[in-house]
Chains A and B, each alone.
Chain A
Amino acid sequence: MANAGFIDIEIGEPVDTFGDAPGETSARQFDVYGYTFSARKPKR
């Protein structure tokens, strides 16, 4: 994101999106969690 020029990049805390889901085993194997992301394009 920074390479594209975005600033004020924020990443939220990990969320266990695969808990009790069919893909949970695979998700745990690769440490997969859900995140929220935000960033801003500079004004100029």
Chain B
Amino acid sequence: MQYQLYIPHDAIQRGVDMTEAMLDKARASAASVNAQNVSFRQGIIEDLPIDDAWADHVLSNGVLNLCVDKQVVFDEIYRVLKPGGILQFADIANGTPVPEAATNNIALWTA
């Protein structure tokens, strides 16, 4: 990859999740290592509770595949990034189009 991920340990970090349960876990994890530079907000990736052009870097893992409208998500991430800012994420993608019948078959999407 072109970009080497380096975030200074004292960088201001802001986490976003849509559920209070996950926010509680994140806050507890941050507290367990006495992280002073991280805060968390409730919200959705399609409408981030983040100011325009605030972030130097946006990271995501395993979320975008769950979003119905990917364009809305990328537009929103673009909005919160500063000019020159970087988006990095890891996720799954299907190489074979999923038929509508399969999309509606929950058994195919769960273990």
Residues of A at the B interface (CB closer than 8 Å) are: 1, 3-6, 8, 10, 12, 17, 21-23, 26-27, 29-44
In the bound complex, do residue A43 and residue B84 qualify as a contact, i.e. CB atoms below 8 Å apart?
A: yes
> Is B33 close to A, CB under 8 A?
no
In the bound complex, do residue B78 and residue A4 qualify as a contact, i.e. CB atoms below 8 Å apart?
A: yes
> Is B21 close to A, CB under 8 A?
no
Residues of B at the A interface (CB closer than 8 Å) are: 1-3, 71, 74-75, 77-78, 81-96, 98, 102, 108-111
In the bound complex, do residue B81 and residue A31 qualify as a contact, i.e. CB atoms below 8 Å apart?
A: no
In the bound complex, do residue B81 and residue A41 qualify as a contact, i.e. CB atoms below 8 Å apart?
A: yes
In the bound complex, do residue A26 and residue B74 qualify as a contact, i.e. CB atoms below 8 Å apart?
A: no
A17-B92, A36-B90 known; A29-B108 Cβ under 8 A: yes
Q: Within the assembled complex, what's the spacing in Å between the Cα atoms of A31 and B109?
A: 13
Please name the residue on chain A nearest to B2 by beta carbon. A10
In the bound complex, do residue A30 and residue B78 qualify as a contact, i.e. CB atoms below 8 Å apart?
A: no
Q: Within the assembled complex, what's the spacing in Å between the Cα atoms of A42 and B91?
A: 23
In the bound complex, do residue B1 and residue A41 qualify as a contact, i.e. CB atoms below 8 Å apart?
A: no
A4 cross-chain contacts in B, Cβ below 8 A: 71, 74-75, 77-78
A43 cross-chain contacts in B, Cβ below 8 A: 83-84
B4 CB → nearest A CB, Å: 10
